[in-house]
Amino acid sequence: MSQMLVGIDVSLRSHHVHFMHGEGHTLADFSVSNDIEGADTLIQKLLKTAEKNQCEHIKIGLEATDQYSWHVAHYLKNQLHGYEPTFQTAVYLLNARRVARFKKGYDTLPKNDRIDAWVIADHLRFGRLPHEMQETLQYDALRRLTRTRFHLMHEIARNKTYMMNQLFLKFSGLRQDNPFSNTFGATSIAVIEELDPETIAAMPIEELVEFLQEKGKKRFAKPEEIAKYLQKLARNSYRLDKVMADPVNISLSVILSTIHHMETQVKRLDKEIERLMKGFTQTLTSVKGIGPVFSAGLIAEIGAIKRFDDHHALAKYAGLVWTQNQSGEFEAENTSRMRTGNKYLRYYLIQAADAVRKHDAEYKAFYEKKYNEVTKHQHKRALVLTARKFVRLVHSLLRTNQLYIPPERRE
C-alpha cells in the first residue's frame, strides 16, 4: 500500500502545496488561496492525485504557525474524515525549528515557498513525526485565553520597568529606596502621581502622615517613621527642571493608566478562564497555591497527557532540560538550559512552582536547598529547578487524576 505525502507551506494569503509519493518523487506542486475556496481546491486535487496514483495513505504536514495554519489544518482534518476508509489520512502540525534543522541537511536548497513545501513533504517521508493532530477545540479555546493572559502579563512587566525608569527623573530617591513594600501599591502610586520631592520636603510631618494614612486606609503600623523617611528621600533627590516637569508627569500618568487598564483586562480574562475550567476534570487545583488560572495554563498547553510517555518528555516539551557537555573522560559540571520548548507551558510551570513552594513544605525545602547552592542568580536558578521538580507532580496528577496529598498529611 503506497502513501502520498502532502507538504503545505502556510502564509497569510496563500499556501504552497507539494504532493510527494512515498518513494520520494513529485506528484504535484501548486498554490492555493488561504480561504475555504482554496482549501476545497486543495482537497479535490489531493483526492484526485491519490486515486490516480493508488495512494491509500495520505500524510499532511504543516508548520505549527498558530494562526495561519489553524484554519486549514482543522478544515482538512474534518473534511477528509468523510473519505475514510477509502483513504487513510493523518494531519501533522510540525515544529518549525525541527523542519528548519531538517532542511539544513540539504546544503544547496534556496529559501522560497515552493522549496519549503517540498521540505515539509520530505520530512514526512523520513518519519520521526509528532502525534497526529486531534480535534482539541476545548483545549484550543482555553489556550486562546491563557496565551492572551501571558502576553498581557509580559506587557505589564515591560511597562512597569519603563515606568520605574521614568520615576527616577521625577523622584530619584523614591526610585532608589522606596519605603513602601509595593512600588505599585495604592499609597506609593498616590505619592508618585500627586506629590513631588519639593512638596514632600516642605510639608509638615503631620500633614504628610495624614496623607499616607488616607491613601493607605490606615494600614501602616508606623506611619510617622515612613513619613520621616519619605521626607529624607525627598530632600536628597534631584530637582526636576520646570521645562521637564509636565512632560515627565504626563508620561508617568499615561503609563500608569495603561498598566491599570491591562491589569483590569487580566482580571477579565481570569474570570473567563475560571468559567471554562469548570468543563475540565482535573486535580491540579488540589495542590495548595494552584488555582484555576495556573491549572488552565498548564492544561491548555499540555492537552491530552497521554501524548507524553513520562515526566521527562513533558519537561523536554516545556524546555526544562539541560544540555550535556561531555567528551571522553571529561564532563562539565555546569550546564545551561536548552533554549527550546513551549514558552507558554514553561511560564505557567514556573509561576505555579513559585506559588506552590510558598505553601508546600517539600517544595519550600527543595527551593531553599537550590537557592543556597550558588551565589549568583539564586532565585531564578532555584525557581527553574523547582519548576522541573514540579513537572513530575503535574504529569502524575494529570495521568492518575488523583488528589495531591501534602507532606504533612502523608503516613
Q: Is the pLDDT of residue 330 over 80?
A: no
pLDDT > 50? residue 326:
no
Q: What is the mean pLDDT of residues 57-83?
A: 90
In this prediction, residue 411 carries a pLDDT of 63
CA nearest to 22, candidates 47, 5, 42, 1: 5
pLDDT of residue 332: 44
Confidence check: pLDDT of 327 > 80: no
Q: E strands along 347-404, which residues?
A: none
Kindly report whether the global pTM for this prediction surpasses the value 0.95.
Answer: no
Give the model's pLDDT for residue 157: 96
Distance CA(26)–CA(4), nearest Å, equals: 10
What's CA 86's distance to the chain center, in Å?
40
Task: Provide the mean pLDDT of the chain.
Answer: 91
The mean pLDDT of 365-393, rounded to a whole number, is 94
**Class of the domain covering 2-135:** alpha beta
Q: What are the C-alpha distances in Å from 285 to residues 121, 149, 160, 289?
A: 42, 19, 30, 8
Domain with CATH 1.10.287 in the chain: 141-274
Q: For residue 125, name the pLDDT band (cuts at 50, 70, 90).
A: very high
Mean pLDDT computed over 166-191: 92
Closest Cα to residue 136, out of 48, 73, 43?
73
Share of residues in the chain with pLDDT > 90 (%): 77
Is the confidence at residue 147, as pLDDT, over 80?
A: yes
Cell numbers 550558588 correspond to what residue?
A: 374
Task: Indicate the CATH number of 141-274 among 3.90.25, 1.10.287, 1.10.3230, 2.40.50.
Answer: 1.10.287
